[in-house]
Amino acid sequence: MHIIEPHQIQQRKLRPDSANKLPLRIAFLVTLVIGAGGLLMWRLEHRSLPLPAIAQQEEAEEAQTGDAGPPKPLRLKQFSNEQFRDLYNSFAYPNTAEIAAPPVITGNSKADKRIRDLAFGRGYKLRSAPVSPLVTTEDGFALQQKAVKPWHDLKRAAAREGIPLGLASAYRSIEEQRLIFLQGLKATGVTPEEVAAGLVDDKVIRVLATTSIPGASRHHTGFAVDLKCSDEDHTLFVHSKCFAWLSNNNYEKAKRYGWIPSYPPGTPNQGPEPEAWEYVWVGIDTLSE
């Protein structure tokens, strides 16, 4: 029989006790750290959660850049439709270089010359094209970097007022424009030989009324956009509430975000017939006093 002396009992009681206390202390500390960490996370999350605060911050940032945001004391210049056209032609589009040589159209050089003469006679001009890569908008269209935020800002400003502004087209390459033009020409049933002989000028002019020759489209710059209202065909844009919103008071809303009408109404010699849906970015600095 093993006799336990009193001093041994003391020791035996002490040992398990002190051995049990260590894990307890560790557990307590871990709980404390986790608790404090959780509290910190909660505070951080709740500090960044309130959306009005974010919106205010964004608006403050936008106000600083001067590119966008809610109405602010901006003195916008007024333009006649001819002045819009002339501004487009005189503005130096950044990140572009002039298209020096007229691109091939049908491949029949005589027909191509005839088409170009008719196009330039209507006011079409060779435009410029990007010299470095473009950026994709949140709508999935290629656009010049400088025009992307102004487009997103314009779209959001419209949405805030219940205007469903969307993109139908943005950058277009010379080759894409060539195919679009050829499609239009083909639909008239003419042959390049007839075009070259000058027998079908009226039909070529009818195509030019709506479609640019390759090299002369403003979409080549990467700064032009075709807008649509909701999912309506963009050619109906002139009748939409989006157009009414954009064009009101000398295109105030468009100008506020750096955009001007590309082919305003009642303006002769600008290439195609007026296109209410097309806008070009020239920047807020150009448009404000």
Contacts to Zn ion by CB under 5 A? 226, 278
The residue among 112 and 278 lying less far from Zn ion, judged by its C-beta, is 278
Q: Which residues, including other chains, have CB under 8 Å from residue 104's CB and lie 6 or more apart?
A: 112, 178, 214
The residue among 196 and 279 lying less far from Zn ion, judged by its C-beta, is 279
Asked whether the beta carbons of 75 and 288 are under 8 A apart, the reply is yes
Closest distance between Zn ion and the C-beta of residue 211, in Å?
10
Q: Which amino acid type is present at position 214? A: P
Query: Under DSSP, is residue 138 helix (H, G, I), strand (E, B) or coil?
Result: coil
The residue among 130 and 192 lying less far from Zn ion, judged by its C-beta, is 130
Residues 209, 83, 134, CA angle at the centre, nearest 5°? 70
Closest distance between Zn ion and the C-beta of residue 222, in Å?
13
Closest distance between Zn ion and the C-beta of residue 225, in Å?
8
Asked whether the beta carbons of 190 and 106 are under 8 A apart, the reply is no
The residue among 235 and 288 lying less far from Zn ion, judged by its C-beta, is 235
**What is the token pair recorded at 74?**
């901006």
In angstroms and rounded to an integer, the radius of gyration of the C-alpha atoms of the chain is 33
**What is the token pair recorded at 289?**
């006093």
Closest distance between Zn ion and the C-beta of residue 154, in Å?
16
Closest distance between Zn ion and the C-beta of residue 113, in Å?
25
Helix (H) or strand (E) holding 89: helix 81-90
Q: Which amino acid type is present at position 226? A: D
Asked whether the beta carbons of 197 and 254 are under 8 A apart, the reply is no
The residue among 112 and 226 lying less far from Zn ion, judged by its C-beta, is 226
Query: Under DSSP, is residue 215 helix (H, G, I), strand (E, B) or coil?
Result: coil
Q: Which amino acid type is present at position 197? A: A
CA nearest neighbour of 277 among 184, 180, 169: 169
Closest distance between Zn ion and the C-beta of residue 218, in Å?
7
The residue among 67 and 226 lying less far from Zn ion, judged by its C-beta, is 226
